Chain A
């Protein structure tokens, strides 16, 4: 358990996976009054993630085994308007969003935390692999998990002091193997359940393109090189991510070319060499901070399990210590001090 010990009623968000199952068990062992909640978020087609009825059943059965109450909250309306709608709008604008981060921001640590508090629960727990640390001055930060390979601090970067004060992350000090071992020791049915991987409202069978095609009118586009010469085409500008190499009908043989810019309004994707893809700076927008704005030297991570690179944060721009590939607009850019999260933002188009 990280953070200062606080004993009181805890609402634990149970997805039906092994991590949140063990989180609930550890809270119970620590002496908390625990109630489990599973969110119903997506009413449409799904083959993965949080919302399948079988996952709710797993959460309920684990709660039964632990002897705690379990409830299902239907936050589907909020999920539609705060996560799915913006996801579609971001693609329509040529950005590559991370809907799981927006779900954390608006639904789990927005609506659910608010509801927990309204119901008399000062504490909300999840099964994320990350830790809440209390600093000498009493402020809190998200810190990386004990299991570096499973670390989810990136997707929790938006939490502020108010939210962190209510957050418990019981499994952050355990490796994934240790979590599974605890689940097995406790006889929990989720001990060997595979991790969920994908966005819950995008099915493996039909994919992102199919989902977006049903939600917006996709724009066929030209692919041009740095001089403006047309070198290929794409069926949907909205589906191109900055940095991608394939799927742009480029002639083979030459040196690899990458998407370096996506212009939906102009129905144009610009490609360039690996040198053209590299940048010294990434412009940002939509900042959030754990405890107030930060400038200067930071470590910066631009994808859930990507590298964390030194940079200088200054006036809405990350200046990279070493040139690095462009960050796709819409991606979250998260700032660290050592293993602690300082805050985050979203990459914007140059």
Chain B
């Protein structure tokens, strides 16, 4: 059966140009970028070209870009790096990725609630900043990985400016890169995390942008690569791919947003019309990326729905997955105040650069029927 891959928020296929750009750096050019000879200098030049492209993507200087193994490492480095450098406390919103929540919890940090849309509660943030001394890092994601909901980082920065002059704003922009102009959206953030495989790049390469003046101690120590901020031999082919993906996304993002946004809107409207007792999870009027349709279906379990969808060729997800691969209750929906019964029946369909009308048609042909089948089973058992 023809499949519809609707899990781009989990990972995207690498774009052909990215694969093309990476290939020579796997076999043809063995150099270690830290070396001094010509072969090594070629590798160094390759990652520095990528560094320029990532810097342009975020609106930062090339010296601000620290390559990492991906989003989790970038988030960990942002939180732990500032905490270690300053001795201060971190704070973050309740809907952050576990890669932020876990180091914040380990550092004894503070979790700030969100509104019903999943955006950080600015009033609550202001209260935390005035009530707690020593907060030196505030982490607020640019776009949420489950819902696509966006925070207004300028507004967050304004609260920081009033409350705690020393606190650095970090943003996990992993889910925003493909859809939002980071040079504008993240201009107030001193630290920005991103990873390649969410926007047509490879897995295994990401970056933390560290603007000048931000205090940061390294987590990985050793050879002093990345200007002493992240030791370890750089993953040259993946970083080259990351740079190419950054170049492509800057070049065609506006057109992609328009095209994919229309697909998402048609998908979401079709689901809400085609499935009785369904609703959009994100309140209307909440700013979000054009990539994610997040819906709740009453009276079903998404785990069972995903099983049927997979057999019908639709790859999707719901909530978060734990290490075993099991679905876990979503902390994001809980923070938004979505009750557990609704959250159990939630579904995330996420589109990407390669998504097309056929994917939406396929999903709309399959999903309402699968939901109806599960409900019909429950009705039959219940009436037995």
Residues of A bordering B, CB below 8 Å? 38, 40, 51, 53, 56-57, 60, 69, 71-74, 76, 114-115, 117-120
Contact = CB atoms under 8 A, between A and B. Distances in A.
A107 B303 CA distance: 15
Interface string B322-349: 1111111000000000000000000000
Contacts of B381: 114, 117
Contacts of A117: 377, 381
Contacts of A115: 301, 304
Identify whether the interface residues of B are mostly helix, strand, loop, or mixed: helix
Contacts, number: 41
Interface in B340-384: 373-374, 377-378, 381
Contacts of A76: 326
A40 B303 contact: no
Nearest to A41: B326
* Chain B residues touching A, range: 10 to 19
Contacts of B327: 72, 74
A119 B308 contact: yes
Contacts of B378: 118
Contacts of B310: 69
Interface in B304-326: 304, 307-308, 310, 322-326
B374 A118 contact: yes
Interface of B: 301, 303-304, 307-308, 310, 322-328, 373-374, 377-378, 381
Contact of A72 (B308, B324, B373, B374): B324
A74 B374 contact: no
B304 A40 contact: no
29 contacts: A40-B322, A40-B324, A51-B324, A53-B324, A56-B324, A56-B326, A57-B324, A71-B307, A72-B324, A72-B325, A72-B326, A72-B327, A73-B326, A74-B303, A74-B322, A74-B326, A74-B327, A74-B328, A76-B326, A114-B381, A115-B301, A117-B377, A117-B381, A118-B374, A118-B377, A119-B304, A119-B307, A119-B308, A120-B308
A51 B373 CA distance: 29
B282 to A, nearest CB: 24
Contacts of A69: 310
A56 B325 CA distance: 8
A73 B322 CA distance: 11
Contacts of B325: 56, 60, 71-72
Which has the most chain A C-beta neighbours within 10 Å: B324, B325, B328, B374?
B324
A178 B381 CA distance: 39
B308 A40 contact: no
